[in-house]
Amino acid sequence: MLTDLARASVALYDGAGAGFQRLGGLELASTASTASGAREVQRRVEAAHEAGLQAQLLDPDALPAEVTGFVDASSVVAAGHFPEDGVTSPKVLTAALAERARARGAHFTSGKVVGIDVAGPAGASERVRVHTRDGRTLSALTVVLAGGVWGPHLAALTGLDLPLFPVAHPYTYSAPKTGLTSGPFVRWPEHHAYARVHGERLGIGSYDHVPVPVEQADLTEGAGLAWRGDFDGVVDAAQRLLLPGARFTPQERVNGVFAMTPDNLPFLGPHPQLEGVWVAQALWVTHAAGAAERLVAAVLEDAPLPADLAVDRFGSASGSVEDLRRAALRLYRDIYANDRT
């Protein structure tokens, strides 16, 4: 299901004209891995084949030149290559998609949402009202809650407890370096680390740390958080997977925020109580456009949506909020463990 959403997303991103490149992906096991590291890379290549995706095992001596400038090929014991993988520049991609939407009649406005209520009966032309902090009220036939890491805040305005849990995540950028060339996104699955070239800078991130939950009240309006000192050691450990000459003192440190759910799946579907209100949450860029297409078909054509993504799939039988939080946090380190999208 997620692979289908990813394929649909990539098809749309390919046509956006900016912000998306199919640079490919590499997944590596190194001499620092356990004996199962190479088997895991092979398993992921086989899983990709089963899903109909292009993938192949590479000889460590045949790593693309774009990555041997920062990856020590002599330490690589297994490599999986996924040529159809892509990377995005979210701001550029979003701007390109927004421009296409404007050309088709869409209008954009901004303002923090402070209230949502249903004002009219089913079938009314403007049945849902959205209230903003600056005093405006916007009325619509359909409202979609798509607030990213602020999803629980938006859901709460409609009386819905959404088990979405923001988690802090470290990513760092080097100063500009010579000799870097844009190429495949590199992951070390067993070490929960990944790296890629951003123009003249090298970036590296890691999931290999105790999950750090972030409360809604702690989120700034830009989603950025102050850097945590305990993330320095996490990044240092990830950099040991790089060539010694490629390791760096970060010029820029980002404490990003990810939206986690108890089963690592998004929420996509109608609000369980309010007609005219829909939810599209915990959607990463990998699946976002494909999910949007499915949601449009559901809203306009009554097309079915995957039951596995139902907004109310975690009912009272699933346990307390704390149980759901613990389940989501356990999955943080394994975001890439079982999918190849």
DSSP per position, 301-340: H-----GGG-TT-S-GGG--HHHHHHHHHHHGGGTTTS--
How much is the CA Rg of the chain, to the nearest whole Å? 21
Q: Are 193 and 205 in contact (CB under 8 A)?
A: yes
Q: What does the pLDDT read at residue 341?
A: 35
DSSP 107: -
Q: How confident is the model at residue 118 (pLDDT cuts 50, 70, 90)?
A: confident
Query: Per-residue pLDDT for 26 more than 90?
Result: yes
Q: How confident is the model at residue 125 (pLDDT cuts 50, 70, 90)?
A: low
Tell me what the mean pLDDT of segment 126-135 comes to.
91
Domains of the chain are 24-85+165-260 (3.30.9.10), 91-164+263-334 (3.50.50.60)
Distances (CA, A) of 143 to 61, 94, 107: 53, 20, 14
Q: Which of 34, 31, 93, 94 is nearest to 60 (CA)?
A: 31
Query: Per-residue pLDDT for 188 more than 60?
Result: yes
Tell me what the mean pLDDT of segment 101-130 comes to.
85
Query: Per-residue pLDDT for 30 more than 50?
Result: yes
The rounded distance, in Å, linking the Cα atoms of 172 and 238 is 11
| Most distant pair of Cα atoms in the chain: their distance | 67
Q: What does the pLDDT read at residue 319?
A: 62
Q: How confident is the model at residue 339 (pLDDT cuts 50, 70, 90)?
A: very low
Tell me what the mean pLDDT of segment 94-101 comes to.
94
Distances (CA, A) of 231 to 207, 237, 248: 10, 10, 15
The pair phi, psi for residue 323, each rounded to 5°, is -60, -45
The rounded distance, in Å, linking the Cα atoms of 213 and 260 is 10
Length of the chain counted residue by residue? 341
Distances (CA, A) of 277 to 142, 155, 158, 292: 6, 10, 9, 15
Tell me what the mean pLDDT of segment 114-122 comes to.
80
User: How many whole angstroms from its chain centre is CA 202?
Assistant: 20
Token readout for 270 is 């109608």
Q: What does the pLDDT read at residue 31?
A: 78
Q: What is the residue-averaged pLDDT of the chain? A: 91
DSSP string, 136-202: -EEEES-EEE--GGGHHHHHHHTT-----EEEEEEEEEPPP-TT-----EEEEGGGTEEEEEETTEE
Q: How confident is the model at residue 338 (pLDDT cuts 50, 70, 90)?
A: very low
Tell me what the mean pLDDT of segment 17-28 comes to.
94
Q: How confident is the model at residue 36 (pLDDT cuts 50, 70, 90)?
A: confident
Query: Per-residue pLDDT for 244 more than 90?
Result: yes
Q: Are 194 and 187 in contact (CB under 8 A)?
A: yes
The rounded distance, in Å, linking the Cα atoms of 300 and 278 is 12
Between helices 90-103 and 285-301, what is the axis angle to 10°? Answer: 20
The rounded distance, in Å, linking the Cα atoms of 279 and 258 is 17
The rounded distance, in Å, linking the Cα atoms of 253 and 208 is 16
pLDDT digits (tens, 9 = 90+) for 62-96: 999 999 999 988 889 999 999 999 999 999 999 99
Element (H, E) at 281: strand 277-281
Residues in CB range of 20: below 8 A, 6 or more apart: 10, 13, 14, 86, 87, 88, 89, 93
Q: What does the pLDDT read at residue 274?
A: 92
Residues in CB range of 220: below 8 A, 6 or more apart: none
Token readout for 9 is 């997303």
> Comparing 79-88, 146-155, 200-209, 219-228, which segment has the lowest mean pLDDT?
219-228
Q: How confident is the model at residue 222 (pLDDT cuts 50, 70, 90)?
A: low
Q: Are 240 and 70 in contact (CB under 8 A)?
A: no
Q: What does the pLDDT read at residue 336?
A: 52
